[in-house]
Amino acid sequence: MHPIRHWLAAAAIAAMGTTPMASHAQSLRPHLNDTGLTLCADPLDQWTHQCAGTGQDAAFGRDATHPGSADGAAGFAFVRVCNSGEPAGTGDCPARPARGQGPNDWGCNHDRVTGLTWELKTDDGGLRDWRRVYTQRQPQDPRYGKPSDAAGYVHAVNRSGGLCGSSHWRLPHLIELFSLVNISVAYPGPTIDSTFFPDTQAGGYWSADGGAPDIPEVAGLAWFAYFGTGYVAPWGRKARFAVRLVRGERPAPELARYVVSADGQEVHDRVTDLVWRRCSEGQVVQGETCVGSPITLDWHAALALAQQAGSGYRMPNFKEMLSIVDTRLTGVSFDGRAFPGTPADITYWTSTTQMFPDTASTSPIVWADYGESGLSDHEFPSAVRLVRDGR
């Protein structure tokens, strides 16, 4: 299978630096979970638990260091929250509250990794029933904010008293929404921890992000995460997808999140606390940009290249690669000042392997022009952008 470009849902639906990108930037809590993947691909692309030294997704991160599942699947850490706003086991909220509408029933989940709190959907046919779907229209659209629109749902929930002690719920940004994805769940999903998020559709969920409003060709598109596979894509705002509300600190504005190192070789992302090489492998920094052509390798060769780089560098997992996508759909999916000289006609590997029970031969890729995701067999070449943990 050659990597085929697609707006993802089509098939499913039919030394820190000294040069800040903005003077008002601040250090923010990371808004990214690990993928939950605990298996790796061996040299023959068969599943294996032997991940040490492979440089693959399951060999690093919280799903490797925190494999227990008492508070969520590997790497995740959730706390049930009662409708009163009290966390489970505090005040009058039971240690394991049951779902329901009472003040001491389970109504939300707090994510201890990201600091966000998420809506728990209901199964009662009411306003928050998990089967309901909405459009994601723009404010100038006459149907914006209607009961069938995502903005209308947000307003209805907050106007009716809110959830779990708060009336400040909103649509999640894409980086927040795909942080809930659990890659270890095989298609058809839903790719989420169903113990903490029961009654989740194995379909699309809207985010708050969309195409730049001043570019007519993309203004009518908004991003969603598809919980049948865990992938993300932009789609027409008149489509109907599910909505899961969130509250908590928002990610930093795009112009405030990146800091370039003094030598221009690296960029630090304040939102995720990851440090990236500014140039794709094969390119070099020259002045204020990256020059040369990115090298493209098959997946196993790309992993080997990442390991040879040393200094803690590795190939990013799927969520990490998606975390730097510019959701404005301007034609280059990575911030042009943080990651200059990125060609628009290439794809980037991730260290994640797609969870198909019978094979470990395909991995997610991210397109460089608009940032949508796809799948590629390991034998086909893609580019590499390296990352390391912040220090």
The secondary structure of 46-64, three-state, reads CEECCCCCCCCHHHCCHHH
Lowest average pLDDT, out of 20-29, 106-115, 282-291, 297-306, goes to 20-29
Confidence bin at 391 (pLDDT 50/70/90): confident
Quick one: pLDDT band at residue 367, thresholds 50, 70, 90? very high
- State the distance between the two ends of the chain, measured CA to CA, in whole angstroms: 39
Share of the chain above pLDDT 90, in %: 85
Q: pLDDT band at 77, cuts 50/70/90?
A: very high
CA dihedral 233, 317, 197, 148 (to 10 degrees): -10
Checking DSSP bridges between strand 221-226 and strand 231-236, what pairing results, if any?
antiparallel
- Per-residue pLDDT at 275 exceeds 80: yes
Give me the mean pLDDT over the 169-195 stretch. Answer: 96
Percent of the chain with pLDDT over 70: 91
Q: Which range has the worst mean pLDDT, 148-157, 167-176, 247-256? A: 247-256
Q: Helix H segments across the chain? A: 9-13, 62-65, 150-159, 174-177, 216-219, 299-309, 318-323
Cα distance between residue 40 and residue 53, in whole Å: 11
| Ramachandran sector of residue 233 (left: φ over 0; alpha: ψ -120 to 50; beta: rest) | beta
Q: What is the mean pLDDT of residues 172-179?
A: 96
Q: Which whole number is the average pLDDT over 184-211?
A: 97
Q: What is the mean pLDDT of residues 298-305?
A: 98
Instruction: Check whether 29 has a pLDDT greater than 60.
Output: no
Name the pLDDT band for 171 (thresholds 50, 70, 90).
very high
Environment class of residue 240 by beta-carbon count within 10 Å: exposed (0-12), middle (13-18) or buried (19+)? middle
pLDDT in tens, 96-133: 999 999 999 999 999 999 999 999 999 999 999 999 99
- Would you state the pLDDT for residue 249? 83
* 145 Cβ contact partners less than 8 Å away, ≥ 6 residues apart: 137, 139, 151, 152, 155
| Pairing of β 47-48 and β 274-277 | unpaired
* Mean of the per-residue pLDDT values of the chain: 91
Q: How confident is the model at residue 27 (pLDDT cuts 50, 70, 90)?
A: very low
- Six token digits for residue 273: 């606390």
Residue 252 has what pLDDT? 62
In order of their start, the domains of the chain are 9-30+253-389 (3.10.100)
3-state secondary structure of 177: helix
Q: What is the pLDDT of residue 201?
A: 98
Q: Is the pLDDT of residue 2 over 50?
A: no
**What pLDDT does 13 receive?**
38
- Indicate if the pLDDT at residue 153 is higher than 70: yes
pLDDT at 6 over 50: no
Find, among 72, 322, 73, the residue nearest to 173 by Cα.
Answer: 322
Read off the pLDDT of each residue in 54-75 and give the average, rounded to a whole number: 92
pLDDT of 152 over the 60 cut: yes
Task: Please name the residues in contact with 216: beta carbons below 8 A apart, sequence gap of 6 or more.
Answer: none
Contact 189, 182 (CB under 8 A): no
* pLDDT of amino acid 332: 86
> Looking at per-residue confidence, does 178 or 20 come out higher?
178
Confidence at residue 31, expressed as pLDDT on a 0 to 100 scale: 72
213-263, pLDDT tens digit by residue? 999 999 999 999 999 999 999 999 999 999 999 999 877 665 578 999 999
